[in-house]
């Protein structure tokens, strides 16, 4: 069997270098892209919010980029999802975008382990009028997930530590409504999942998740080469 090792950066997604350049270094293109998206009614840019971010941290690197939020918006509209559970709040940008997507009658629940991030996220929710539409649980998702009501979320967005992706996803299963969808972010982990033995713990976490659901017939899988790889799981109507 091949033991070829892939450099863990940017090997499997032909457009990833482009996206990274677009997002991190090429302001004119980025601004044009956002203008174009906004003209289609797809305005998921962070600039629409009054946002506090932690000092010395790269907001863009930590947060779900606008083009990926566009995809999540489409999934929410197609599925009619009204309740979203997010694992990994950071400063709450994606939580607020989800709250916009599900509308006034929907609700977002989000879990963040870091006290500083959770405090900033709460401040952001307050400053942008989302306190009533977003519930934040500060603590470890591994524990909090087990305290949430069963069958109550239409969409679960898994975006916490990649090492724990499989654990989060399995714990989330019972929280899903019948037609609910689980979306897992960054599952290619820059191509490290291609290595027979991933070179990072994060890559290993993603690979474990992908292999588990490859072998498990209960969920249909949709693996999308968007951004750093997105896995969409939805219940198989006719499991073996
Ligand atoms: C990639 S960031 C989330 C970004 C956010 N969803 C967005 O798009 O703006 C991942 C977050 O997960 C949090 N996290 C990591 N492990 C966690 C755990 N066990 N429970 C809850 N949150 C966790 C980190 O502190 C970090 O803020």
Domain membership of residue 10 (yes or no) is no
Q: Which atom number of ligand 1 is nearest to the Cα of residue 111?
A: 21
Is 121 in contact with 127 (CB distance < 8 Å)?
Answer: no
pLDDT tens, position by position, 117-167: 999 999 999 999 999 999 999 999 999 999 999 999 999 999 999 999 999
Domain membership of residue 7 (yes or no) is no
- The model carries a pTM of 0.88
Q: Which atom number of ligand 1 is nearest to the Cα of residue 142?
A: 19
Q: Which atom number of ligand 1 is nearest to the Cα of residue 186?
A: 1
183 CA → ligand 1 middle, Å = 14
| Average per-residue pLDDT for the chain | 88
* Residue 197 belongs to domain spanning: 16-235
Domain membership of residue 1 (yes or no) is no
Domain membership of residue 200 (yes or no) is yes
Domain membership of residue 104 (yes or no) is yes
The verdict on the CB of residue 90 being under 6 Å from ligand 1 is yes
Q: In what order do the strands lie in the sheet with 107-112?
A: 134-138, 107-112, 83-87, 153-158, 176-184, 230-235, 219-224
Domain membership of residue 4 (yes or no) is no
Residue 17, pLDDT score: 57
pLDDT tens, position by position, 177-221: 999 999 999 999 888 888 889 999 999 999 999 999 999 989 999
The verdict on the CB of residue 223 being under 6 Å from ligand 1 is no
Find the CATH number of the domain harbouring 92. 3.40.50.150
Tell which one of 23, 130, 161 to mutate to probe ligand 1, the residue whose CB is within 8 A of the most ligand atoms.
Answer: 161
Q: Is the per-residue pLDDT at 33 higher than 90?
A: no
Q: Give 83 or 17, the one with higher predicted confidence.
A: 83
Domain membership of residue 9 (yes or no) is no
Domain membership of residue 167 (yes or no) is yes
The verdict on the CB of residue 159 being under 6 Å from ligand 1 is yes
Query: How many structural domains comprise the chain?
Result: 1
Residue 10, pLDDT score: 47
In whole angstroms, what is the distance from residue 221 CA to residue 129 CA? 36
Return the residue whose CA atom lies nearest to atom 9 of ligand 1: 63
């Amino acid at each position: 069997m091949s033991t070829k090792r892939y450099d863990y950066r940017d090997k499997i997604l032909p457009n990833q270098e482009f996206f990274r350049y677009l997002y991190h270094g090429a302001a004119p293109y980025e601004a044009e892209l956002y203008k174009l998206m906004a003209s289609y009614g797809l305005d998921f840019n962070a600039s629409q919010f009054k946002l506090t971010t932690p000092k010395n941290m790269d907001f863009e690197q930590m947060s779900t980029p606008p083009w990926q939020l566009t995809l999540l918006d489409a999934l929410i509209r197609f599925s009619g999802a009204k309740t979203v559970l997010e694992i990994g709040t950071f400063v709450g940008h994606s939580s607020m975008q989800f709250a916009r997507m599900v509308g006034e009658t929907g609700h977002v629940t989000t879990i963040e382990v870091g006290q500083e991030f959770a405090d900033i996220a709460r401040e952001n929710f307050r400053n942008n009028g989302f306190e009533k539409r977003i519930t934040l649980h500060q603590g470890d998702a591994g524990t909090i997930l087990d305290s949430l009501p069963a069958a109550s979320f239409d969409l679960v967005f898994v975006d916490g530590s990649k090492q724990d992706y499989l654990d989060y996803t399995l714990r989330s299963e019972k929280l899903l409504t019948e037609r609910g969808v689980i979306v897992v972010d960054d599952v290619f982990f820059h191509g490290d999942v291609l290595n027979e033995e991933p070179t990072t713990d994060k890559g290993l976490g993603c690979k474990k998740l992908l292999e588990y659901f490859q072998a498990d017939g209960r969920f249909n899988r949709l693996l999308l080469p968007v951004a750093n790889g997105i896995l969409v799981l939805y219940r198989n109507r006719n499991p073996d």
